Homo-oligomer: A and B are copies of this chain.
């Protein structure tokens, strides 16, 4: 097998040079622990978090490697659909387990975390090194507009319907399917707009350029497939243990779904976004932060609603807890407010992080019954 070292080299090299990937060592530990001590929820929770983080990093890297090999349009499309594969797989696992509260909290939390924490920390880290930073505001505007559209889709059904009778439940379900199709269509048209008809306006937001030697296509595809399966397996341990572990740590379920799951799922993207910001390549950071947020809102969430008909124990709807809708709406408005100038300084990052801290603090202190 003389080809093996050649094929494995980039993956091994990646693992050797990226300390995050050393956490892969926890992968076998999770499965052993889950088999031997299925009741040790806190331990399983910690181990599964430690195992998901490097898997997410690998997944993100493999997606970008495939995207880089397949040319601009297909690559952009791949990034746009698989960019949040980790979040999707975790949510699918929770969906199969019928934990719709966790699915919705993690979806809303991922939107909020990407918009406020990821963008805010990028602006802050970039701003501590560079006095004023500029970025392509056309892309920021497109992504915040898409995010705003998704917020409207979340908001209107709750605003219009007040009672909670049988008629309302059927209404919500039918409406959720319709809105999901609409959102996915809007997302698709947004891709046509930014990748095809008006791509000259979006030149700045190049996510795939990481300056490293690209992986061969075969390796990338194999990694993509294999790691997705591994994430799915670990997610099962994670989803089963997260609620009870949270109780042990004194966290509310809302805090866990919104903050912890979102931070775990987005760890890989954070690394890229922060490094881009420090290198004064803010277009990369803004693209990752707002691109991920709009992708989750317009693609992952509606996809979960549609998939719930196939794999869930019962159909899931798009109606979110009012507090979650308010937070997503505030996030979209904040992102619009701070990105309208296309310029950034450290305090803009502080502002975004403060809004995030207000959310996190509120959810952390919230009495458990109300979520």
Which residues of A approach B to under 8 Å, CB–CB? 131-132, 141-142, 145-146, 148-149, 152-153, 155-157, 159-163, 167-168, 170-171, 174-175, 178-179, 182, 185-186, 189-190, 193, 197-198, 322-323, 326-327, 330, 333-334, 336-338, 340-341, 345-347, 350-351, 354-355, 357-359, 361-363, 365-367, 369-370
Assembly CA distance A168 to B369 (angstroms): 10
Q: A186 contacts which of B161, B193, B351 (Cβ < 8 Å)?
A: B351
Assembly CA distance A160 to B358 (angstroms): 12
Cβ-defined contact, A167 with B358, below 8 A: no
Cβ-defined contact, B341 with A141, below 8 A: yes
Cβ-defined contact, A326 with B161, below 8 A: no
A-B contact pairs, 8 of them (CB 8 A): A146-B351, A149-B355, A152-B330, A152-B334, A156-B359, A175-B361, A175-B362, A197-B345
| Among A193, A345, A362, residue most surrounded by chain B Cβ atoms (within 10 Å) | A362
Q: A171 contacts which of B156, B326, B337, B366 (Cβ < 8 Å)?
A: B366
Closest 5 CB pairs of A and B: A160-B323, A193-B347, A167-B367, A159-B326, A186-B354
Cβ-defined contact, A175 with B365, below 8 A: yes
Cβ-defined contact, A178 with B370, below 8 A: no
Number of copies: 3
Across-interface contacts of A359 in B (CB, < 8 A): 156
Cβ-defined contact, B156 with A190, below 8 A: no
Cβ-defined contact, A182 with B361, below 8 A: yes
| Among A162, A167, A323, A347, residue most surrounded by chain B Cβ atoms (within 10 Å) | A347
Output the nearest chain B residue to A138 by Cβ-Cβ distance: B341
Assembly CA distance A338 to B350 (angstroms): 24
Cβ-defined contact, B358 with A159, below 8 A: no
Cβ-defined contact, B326 with A156, below 8 A: yes
Assembly CA distance A336 to B159 (angstroms): 21
Cβ-defined contact, B179 with A358, below 8 A: yes
Q: A337 contacts which of B157, B336, B350, B361 (Cβ < 8 Å)?
A: B336
Assembly CA distance A340 to B141 (angstroms): 11
Other A-B pairs, 9, CB within 8 Å; known A148-B333, A168-B367, A179-B358: A152-B355, A155-B326, A156-B327, A162-B322, A179-B361, A190-B347, A197-B345, A198-B345, A336-B337
Output the nearest chain B residue to A197 by Cβ-Cβ distance: B346
